């Protein structure tokens, strides 16, 4: 009695090897599609960040995110990239914490995608009820960031979000505020990082990571250090130099 060739041990091994190879090839194709999709989204976000030299005053290069908010596809791309990063790197997230004020634009959308709550970190005196605050240094003076006392519970896992990382002072204060509430800070996320200000150094010790494709633009600027007002951010530097910004940055506090 003869067996069918496909039932022979050697044939089965060969079929299994072929199936494994096909599965590996399909997985590789999937990874390439995802990488191309990520690159496409980063490019879309990048083209919707509009620079304004000498605003709000001379020497500041202002990064305007209004075009992102105006374009549904660009805004969706930003939230997609944040969501993909969170789902890939964090098994459990309890809260998204947004910084005053542009973190309020992206944070609720991401929180809704993830099915978690959203908490506001505001400037001193803007929240009702009992609050908890942390003071931090500005270029000229001090400021305070605060949350409502019952906004974050001890042990909750939180991610912080804002539009821009410059010197890192505000994000660092927000991290300290979360730790004061005994929350576990999983990391920080921003749409734009101003590379030349080394804001990630303020958040150390931490491992900083970016999506596979990092987009940078260069320009010249002059003068001290600061942030612009309105829907975007600006920066001045002590001397004329190359200014870089990275689109979509993630940092662990």
The pLDDT, as a whole number, for residue 7 is 59
CATH assignment, 10-247: 3.40.50.2020
Classified as helix, coil or strand, 21 is helix
User: Is 139 a catalytic site residue?
Assistant: yes
The pLDDT, as a whole number, for residue 114 is 98
The pLDDT, as a whole number, for residue 21 is 81
Segments in the chain below pLDDT 70: 1-11, 139-140, 205-253
The pLDDT, as a whole number, for residue 6 is 54
| Strand partners for 164 | 192
d(CA 174, CA 161) in angstroms, rounded, equals: 10
Selecting among 24, 139, 149, 242, the annotated active-site residue is: 139
Selecting among 102, 122, 146, 193, the annotated active-site residue is: 102
The pLDDT, as a whole number, for residue 253 is 58
Length of the chain in terms of residues written: 253
Domain segments of the chain as ranges? 10-247
DSSP-assigned letter for residue 2: P
User: Is 102 a catalytic site residue?
Assistant: yes
User: What is the model's pTM?
Assistant: 0.76
The pLDDT, as a whole number, for residue 151 is 97
d(CA 248, CA 166) in angstroms, rounded, equals: 13
Q: Which residues contact 20 (CB under 8 A, 6 or more apart)?
A: none
d(CA 158, CA 117) in angstroms, rounded, equals: 10
E strand spans, 38-101: 50-53, 61-64, 95-99
The rounded radius of gyration (Å) of the Cα atoms in the chain is 23
* Residue range 93-125, pLDDT digits in tens: 999 999 999 999 999 999 999 999 999 999 999
The pLDDT, as a whole number, for residue 26 is 75
């Amino acid at each position: 009695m003869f067996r069918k060739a496909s039932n022979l041990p050697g044939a089965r091994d060969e079929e299994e090897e072929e199936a494994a190879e096909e599965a590996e090839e399909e997985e590789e194709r999937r990874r390439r599609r995802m990488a191309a999709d990520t690159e496409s989204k980063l490019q879309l976000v990048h083209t919707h960040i509009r620079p304004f030299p000498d605003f709000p005053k001379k020497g500041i290069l202002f990064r305007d995110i209004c075009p992102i908010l105006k374009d549904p596809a660009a805004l969706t791309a930003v939230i997609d990239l944040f969501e993909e990063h969170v789902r890939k790197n964090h098994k459990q997230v309890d809260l998204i914490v947004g910084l005053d004020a542009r973190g309020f634009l992206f944070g609720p959308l991401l929180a809704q995608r993830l099915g978690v709550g959203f908490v506001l970190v505001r400037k001193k005196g803007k929240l009702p009820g009992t609050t908890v605050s942390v003071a931090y240094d500005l270029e000229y003076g001090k400021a305070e960031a605060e949350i409502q006392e019952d906004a974050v519970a001890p042990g909750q896992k939180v991610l912080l979000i804002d539009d821009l990382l410059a010197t890192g002072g505000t994000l660092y204060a927000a991290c300290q505020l979360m730790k004061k509430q005994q929350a576990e800070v999983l990391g920080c996320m921003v749409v734009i990082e101003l590379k030349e200000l080394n804001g990630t150094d303020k958040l150390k010790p931490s491992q900083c990571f970016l999506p596979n494709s990092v987009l940078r633009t260069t320009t010249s600027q002059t003068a001290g250090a600061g942030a612009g007002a309105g829907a975007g951010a600006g920066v001045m530097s002590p001397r004329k130099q190359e200014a870089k910004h990275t689109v979509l940055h993630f940092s662990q506090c």
